[in-house]
Amino acid sequence: MSQDLIRTDATGATGGAAAGFELIELADPVAVAEHVAALLLHERRRRPELPLGLATGRTMEPIYRALARQIGQLPFAEGERLRERWLSFNLDEYVGLAAEDPRCFRSVMTERLVLPLGLDPERVRLPDGTAADPDAEADRYRLELEAAGGVGLQVLGLGLNGHVGFNEPPCGADVRCRCINLSASTRAANASAFGGNPEAVPARAITLGLGEIMVARSILLVVTGAAKAGILRWILQGPPTPELPASWLHRHPRVLVVADRAALGRGDNG
């Protein structure tokens, strides 16, 4: 990896009780994307029998671009094998958008992952946000993931209010896949895809719960940008609390946090 990779004990970085996390600090979102994409590729080769857990959001966008480029550089036969054996489950989906709506996460994954990588769309799983009964769809999705063996490596972005997936605070450590109401702050944070209007952001979503996330074999929490510095600091410090859903990750034995300097509150000269 590049020279700007610094391995730091999260406890040392924050002075808090973050003993369970391993932390990798990288220069910027581009370096984060290259590193995370390489980890995803490594995971698909090492543990192809278990699905990847994937996220959407701005943090993930450069990661999918880097992943497409890295897979494109593989020898043809290896790329083919990877495509054939691909299986991923996304964390969440808005409720009520039409299937062809470009803002639903199914469309986002088609554009960012399925088409660039040449994947079978059936092997990129998401909850169905168009289902007539979203609660029943959440149960169906949970059972489908369980039948696939549960997630191998789960990638998570971090919401500004500490949410992971769409697990809004307050949130217990054992909640399951379900249909939830989105908070006003999350609708505001995601409004850019909806013409800047928080009211246009769907009010509900289906999300995997902390229950499914915490049984992933390993977890990668990816955080970039100065806007996340405050919330990331809280998460790294712990202790776990329902007010910060991501803080439950302290109870998971294998969490790697990959963050850029800005998200760690380090200025250019810091």
Question: Considering 25, 34, 93, 168, which one is annotated as catalytic?
Answer: 168
Stretch that binds ligand GLP, among 157-165, 212-220, 238-246, 248-256 (CB under 6 A): 157-165
Active site residue 168: yes
The pairing of strands 218-223 and 153-156 is parallel
CB 155 within 8 A of CB 53: yes
CB of 264 to ligand GLP, least distance (A): 16
- Site for ligand GLP (CB under 6 A): which residue of 87, 91, 113, 262? 91
**Closest to 32 in 3D by CA, of 259, 261, 263, 264:** 259
Subset of 92-151 contacting ligand GLP (CB under 6 A): 92
Question: Considering 34, 137, 163, 190, which one is annotated as catalytic?
Answer: 163
What's the token pair of residue 168? 């809004």
Coil vs helix vs strand at 163: coil
**Closest to 48 in 3D by CA, of 166, 152, 125, 155:** 152
Question: Applying CB under 6 A, does 171 fall inside the site for ligand GLP?
Answer: no
Torsion, Cα 111 113 114 120, to 10 degrees, reads -160
CA distance 53 to 50: 9
CB 44 within 8 A of CB 117: no
Name the one residue in this structure whose structure tokens are 């007010």. Answer: 243
Question: Both ends of the chain: CA-CA distance in Å?
Answer: 22
Q: Which is nearer to ligand GLP, 90 or 269 (CB)?
A: 90
Active site residue 92: yes
What's the token pair of residue 196? 């800047």
Question: Applying CB under 6 A, does 166 fall inside the site for ligand GLP?
Answer: yes
Q: What is the DSSP string of 220-259?
A: EEEE-SGGGHHHHHHHHH---BTTBGGGGGGGSS-EEEEE
Active site residue 197: no
Question: Applying CB under 6 A, does 190 fall inside the site for ligand GLP?
Answer: yes
- Site for ligand GLP (CB under 6 A): which residue of 20, 38, 58, 123? 58
Q: Which is nearer to ligand GLP, 79 or 265 (CB)?
A: 265
CB of 13 to ligand GLP, least distance (A): 21
Active site residue 28: no
Q: Which is nearer to ligand GLP, 17 or 160 (CB)?
A: 160
Determine the residue with CB nearest ligand GLP: 157
Stretch that binds ligand GLP, among 119-127, 153-161, 253-261, 262-270 (CB under 6 A): 153-161
Residues with catalytic annotation? 92, 161, 163, 168
**Which residues of the chain form contacts with ligand GLP (CB under 6 A)?**
55-59, 91-92, 157-159, 165-166, 186, 190
